[in-house]
Amino acid sequence: MDTVAESNLPKPSEHERRYIRVLIFATFIAGLCSIIYELLIATTGAYFIGDSIRQFSLVIGFYMAAMGIGSFLSRLIPDENLLHTFIFIEILLGLIGGLSVPLLYFSFAFLDIFQLSVLALTSLIGLLIGMEIPFLSRLMSKHYSLKDNISNILSVDYFGALIATLLFPFLLLPFLGVFRSSLTFGLINMSIGFAVLYIFSDALKVHRKKILLTYNILAFSILLLTIIYAKTIMSSWTTHMYEDRVAYAHETPYQQIVVTKRRDDLRLFLNGNLQFSSVDEHRYHEALIHIPMSGCRCEHVLMLGGGDGLGARELLKYPHLKSITLVDLDPAITTLGKENPLIVTQNKASLLDPRVSIVNEDAFVFANKLDKKFDLIIVDLPDPNNTALARLYSREFYWLLQSALANKGRFVTQATSPYFAREAFWSIEKTLLSSGFENVLPYHVSVPSFGEWGFLMASQSPIVLDGIPEDISTRFLTDELIPLAQVFPKDIGRLSVKENTLDSPEVLQYYLSGWKHWR
């Protein structure tokens, strides 16, 4: 009987076809915005906490569960209240979804509940989105049979989701960033409320229509004003986050870059994490460069990371050096190293030297297609605080780099703190050994801004260090310090740990566990 009834549904009139078009538009926008909000929240969580896999897993899990609850609760709304409830939910969803990233920025800066804020916003948005599809299905049920209704709703919703996944990495992050993207899509979400209010005007009571229109205009105005003053808001947020004067701030598709300055102390931060302080960065970079260069006439060097140019500055002190191939994922960092007067002064214009070639590419992708040999490979990448970075400390990555080393060539990597992340440090050593390096030499130095910091050198040939050449100037490192740097006190000594692989990123868990206590 149901099949007969469904097949006898009257054909919609022109007026009703307008209703249907608006509802299909609403379905498309709902699918679009739902994925965008999910990606924005997870990406912001990964920016500030790291561990992107955990953040995306939590957001997806809570999001889907909340959508299920929202779908279940939608049955409690009677048909006579369905239309105005749907419009109200769209207004609320546009406002909360649009303000989701600004609220997370606020939470990170002023509250100590950032992870809780991520999950709360995820759940609330998921709950509202979960009510959308059942509402839209019920609103369209009078025009289509059940099978056609479900098919239409889900196909349009999924198509909207596809468009969202294409927009997010290729347009939104590169051109708007997460902050403005959330506000923009909040406004787009608001368009559903305006469209439904306009088309279904006759079906709403006058006082409800006025109330909903007022809410929609108010919410739209809040988002619009936040977009207009986004630069001022971000500037105030950045100033609050950093103790010193902010000299430069820029959000890229990969990270947030901030440079601060106070008197002689110039600092670079990526996603809020200190990368260097000009007061003591020479300790780190001299250890990273001059110890592996000791006893090695390296002419061709590959540097992965180090887009600030400070490592290149130390390498260029060697007159026999012929080339540096510097690979850094984010072009904004290498542009900063070449053009920002403060950074250029600090790196002594190293990235403008004709011996330096810059490649903006993922280090793993670059290593996978290497077809030339290098005398020295330096890995100066951020700590393995998420899965994307942990793979750059994996056995498989070291295999690729090992094959790019010239005969008697050397490899060195920064390897986080053997004091704060002891297990992670020794896991990297074990990973280098398991990747086939015959000789691995751990060493460490004290960098006041970071504490005790570790490095690992590796080679297929015996590693012989014969000091720093007399014509190489240093501020910290001496011949006497090199053997001392290889001595590890008991509390940071070698541990029994697992190697790090692509399939099992052990170093990530070791790193997060080690730093959790100190942060």
CATH classification of the domain holding 153: 1.20.1250.20
| Sheet strands side by side (includes 265-270) | 245-251, 256-262, 265-270, 273-277
Res 11: pLDDT: 65
Tell me: the pLDDT tens digits for 275-328? Answer: 999 999 999 999 999 999 999 989 999 999 999 999 999 999 999 999 999 999
Q: Identify the three-state secondary structure at position 400.
A: helix
Q: Are residues 260 and 369 in the same domain?
A: no
Both 198 and 344 in one domain: the answer is: no
Same domain, 267 and 288: no
> Which tokens hold the place of 193?
């409320």
Digit-coded pLDDT (tens) for 189-211: 999 989 989 888 888 888 999 99
Please identify which of the residues 380, 383, 471, 491 carries the catalytic annotation. Answer: 380
Which residue type, as a one-letter code, is found at position 67? Answer: M
* 250 and 317 housed in the same domain: no
Give how many domains the chain has, as a whole number. Answer: 3
414 and 447 both lie in a single domain = yes
E strand or H helix at 410, and its extent?
Answer: strand 405-414
Host domain of residue 491: 279-518
User: CA angle, corner 409, sides to 408 and 411, nearest 5?
Assistant: 135
Pick the closest to residue 304 from 381, 384, 411 (CA basis).
Answer: 381
Say if residue 171 is in the same domain as residue 70: yes
Query: Final residue of a domain: which of 215, 236, 257?
Result: 236
Phi, psi dihedral angles at 215 (to 5 degrees): -60, -45
Q: Say yes or no: 84 and 154 in one domain.
A: yes
- Rounded CA gap, 67 and 65, in Å? 5
Cα separation values, 145 from 139, 159, 226, 290, Å? 12, 21, 43, 75
244 has catalytic annotation: no
Residues 95 and 73 in one domain: yes
Query: Which secondary-structure segment (H or E) carries 323?
Result: strand 323-327
Tokens matching residue 390? 């942990």
**Low-confidence spans in the chain with pLDDT less than 50:** 1-6
Answer yes or no: do 344 and 327 share one domain: yes
Same domain (yes/no): 136, 229 = yes
Regarding whether 430 and 336 lie in a shared domain, the answer is: yes
384: CATH? 3.40.50.150
Length of the chain: 519
Residues 232 and 189 in one domain: yes
Q: How many CB atoms lie within 10 A of CB 257?
A: 20
- C-alpha to C-alpha distance for 71 and 473, rounded to whole angstroms: 68
